[in-house]
Amino acid sequence: GLHRISVTACLENCPNIFPLIEFMIDEATGKIYAQRTLDREARAVWRFVVLATDEGGEGLTGFTDVIISVWDINDNAPVFGCAPDSCHGSVAENSPPGTSVMELTATDLDDTAVGQNAVLAYRIVGNTVLSGGSSIVDMFTINGATGTVSVAAAGLDREKTESYLLVVEARDGGGMMGTATATISVMDINDHAPHFLERSCEARIPESSEPNTAVLELAAEDADAGENGQLTFSIVAGDPEQKFYMVSHRQEQRGTLRLKKRLDYERPGEQKFNLTIKVEDLEYSSLLHCTLDVEDYNDHAPVFIPHFLQLPALREDIPVGSSVAMVAASDSDSGSNREITYSIAPESDPHSLFLVDQTGLVTVARQLDREEASQHHLVILATDHGDPPLTGTATIQMSLLDVNDNGPEFEAAYAPVVWENVPGPQVVHLNASSTLLRAIDRDSAENGSPFSFSVPPEYRYSNDFLLRENGNDTATVTALRAFDRERQKEFLLPVIMTDSGKPPQTVTSFVVVSVAGDGAEYTAVYEVVVLLCMLMWVLLLGIFLYTRWRSYKGLKEGVYHVSAHHDGWEDIRENVLNYDEEGGGEEDQVRSFSWWSRAPSKMPGHSCHGSHSNRGACVGLSPQQPLRAHYHQDLARYLCEIIRDADQHPETAPFDSLQVFSTEGGGSPAGSLSSFSSAGLEESAATHDSLREWGPRFEKLRALYERAEGSDL
């Protein structure tokens, strides 16, 4: 019968879509056809069930399992798995030939079991130096079957060529090919020793440098890279006391030599340092010799040995240019810092009496004088030539022995005066306080006193003056006759004075004796001063009394009355009545009421009556009173007014100021200066005649009093 065939089921590797679209079957003949191009690389085997039915699909059914294998053709090229950017390999430099570098394998999707479609062959088609240099030798090779890249020749040097670029081809049996580019880096190994850029080094360092001061910079190089190229610097010799240290800048391949401790040029072995410096990497090292010269710094002042000299005493007449002492100073520094210049401190020799040369010899530059300075303390300076200069000092102490090189001289500048018309003999006053002529000597005691005084022979028998030696280093000048100033005002008297030195010194000095006219010239200044003081006193007292008198408005019954509106009564009391209480004589305090105890009738020029035995009202002034001036009458009336007021007010205590006025100055050597007494209340004008007894010096004062009385002042 008729058969009908169909694919009923897919047994394995079936696509998700069913029924199958890749194959179709002829229902009549059972032939199976592919409906599209098959890809073995996507599916190599198809398996499904084919059903066959008879009687038009309604009869019996049979089935079979169909397996279809897809036959491979060379339709895929080889592909490198690391392509395009991940093909990297590395190899250590100096690796021997045959050293495996990397695996460069490719895959081919074709069937390896069918022919040569998946059989691959590798080869290097490009070998290029990527960086670091050039190479004409292929340094790498590849296994054609496995794709293993290895070193082809010796001589890999990272320092020359750091990386290579390989182009590798993979070709299958069908002629299809694929390529990949691989980068091979040459890894560094420590195959180079570091070395300094300079073969030797020199440096200079000041002695005054502070610790951590940079002395010099050292640079080295190492062709290696990474840790193999990081360098360490150190000092391995020439610095036993560790004065220096190295600071390593490892990645920068340089080092800094720095000072660790202070330097001292003056110490042995510290003027120059010969250092051995090492630079090293992880395995190799090299050495460098450095010379360091220390520059001296002026840090030491000159030193005198000894620094104090006590010289024996020198005669003050030592000749100029004589050697006194020899000093020497030394300086521990070097060069110009130890060159020394000697000098004398100006303050120790202000008059430049001494000189020091550059050998240290001290000599006398000027004539010495013990009387100017008996001792000398010279400060010798030693100054070096450093920058800044330093100075050392030494002291020379010396005393001077006295030489009798000074004669006697007057103790003071004498200005003797004799009065004219005074018969001799009279001792001449050499000054205001003494009649003795004294001598002094600036030399020491053994060359001084005792002194002798004399006059030249031609003056020894003079009729004018006589010089008498008193034996105690003094002399007296006596005028032998009376002098007339109008004939000769001055006399020159030479005085010869001799000391006790060995040999003695004799000096002639002159005394100028002046003749004064009756003593007037000698006392003129004194009398003028006294006269001016008295006139000023009288003037002030007159002004004061006149002012008080003006304060009263008038007289009543011949007696002055104090105005009721006058507010200055206490002022009058203190300033007038109490005036003479200050500075009076002894009787001011002892005779409290002596003035009041006198009978009123005995008061000159006035009388007082009252209820008390000793007090009464002043009723007037006697016309026979000796008061010649008008202000004397006013004052008397004013005092009577005070007494009258005291009688009318019993509660008022007795007023003592009046008696003080009366007795002011009594009992003292100066006597009274009261205007009451001088006005003639208790003394007469004839008192001025007593000035005659005081001598010619008060003659002018007596004349003034007489002229004052004649003018009725």
pLDDT digits (tens, 9 = 90+) for 633-679: 566 667 767 766 666 655 554 544 444 444 455 555 555 544 444 44
pLDDT of residue 667: 52
Q: How sure is the predictor about 405, in pLDDT bands with cuts at 50, 70 and 90?
A: confident
Q: How sure is the predictor about 690, in pLDDT bands with cuts at 50, 70 and 90?
A: low
Averaged pLDDT for residues 605-632: 38
Averaged pLDDT for residues 249-254: 92
pLDDT of residue 697: 60
More confident residue, 685 or 462: 462
Rounded distance between C-alpha atoms, residue 5 and residue 29, angstroms: 8
Most confident of 6-15, 154-163, 474-483, 596-605: 474-483
pLDDT of residue 321: 94
pLDDT digits (tens, 9 = 90+) for 196-217: 999 989 999 999 999 999 999 9
pTM for this model (two decimals):
0.48
More confident residue, 692 or 40: 40
pLDDT of residue 588: 44
Averaged pLDDT for residues 149-165: 89
Averaged pLDDT for residues 327-347: 92
Would you say 631 and 548 are in contact if contact means Cβ atoms under 8 Å apart?
no
pLDDT of residue 570: 43
Q: How sure is the predictor about 278, in pLDDT bands with cuts at 50, 70 and 90?
A: very high
pLDDT of residue 168: 93
pLDDT of residue 431: 85
More confident residue, 443 or 253: 253
- Token digits for 7? 């694919």
Q: How sure is the predictor about 261, in pLDDT bands with cuts at 50, 70 and 90?
A: very high
Rounded distance between C-alpha atoms, residue 712 and residue 114, angstroms: 182
Rounded distance between C-alpha atoms, residue 59 and residue 479, angstroms: 205
In the chain the domains, ranked by start, together with CATH numbers, are: 3-69 (2.60.40.60), 79-187 (2.60.40.60), 195-295 (2.60.40.60), 303-401 (2.60.40.60), 409-518 (2.60.40.60), 551-682 (no CATH)
Residue 471 predicted with pLDDT over 90: no
Q: How sure is the predictor about 138, in pLDDT bands with cuts at 50, 70 and 90?
A: confident
Closest CA to 281 of 216, 234, 242, 215: 234
Question: Tokens 């009688």 belong to which residue?
Answer: 647
Would you say 93 and 154 are in contact if contact means Cβ atoms under 8 Å apart?
no
Residue 609 predicted with pLDDT over 50: no
Residue 546 predicted with pLDDT over 50: yes
Q: How sure is the predictor about 377, in pLDDT bands with cuts at 50, 70 and 90?
A: very high
Would you say 171 and 118 are in contact if contact means Cβ atoms under 8 Å apart?
no
Q: How sure is the predictor about 583, in pLDDT bands with cuts at 50, 70 and 90?
A: very low
More confident residue, 603 or 152: 152
Classify each residue of 289-308 as buried b or exposed e, where b means 16 or more C-beta atoms within 10 Å of its C-beta: ebebebebbbebbbebeeee
Would you say 14 and 22 are in contact if contact means Cβ atoms under 8 Å apart?
no
pLDDT of residue 289: 95
Closest CA to 223 of 154, 132, 152, 291: 132
Rounded distance between C-alpha atoms, residue 392 and residue 678, angstroms: 82
Task: List the single range of 147-151, 318-322, 590-594 with lowest mean pLDDT.
Answer: 590-594
pLDDT digits (tens, 9 = 90+) for 472-515: 889 999 999 999 998 999 999 999 999 888 889 899 999 999 99
SS3 317: coil
Mean pLDDT of the chain: 79
Residue 99 predicted with pLDDT over 50: yes
pLDDT of residue 548: 78
Helices 630-648 and 520-550, packing angle to 10 deg: 50
Q: Which amino acid is at 704?
A: L
Q: How sure is the predictor about 69, in pLDDT bands with cuts at 50, 70 and 90?
A: confident
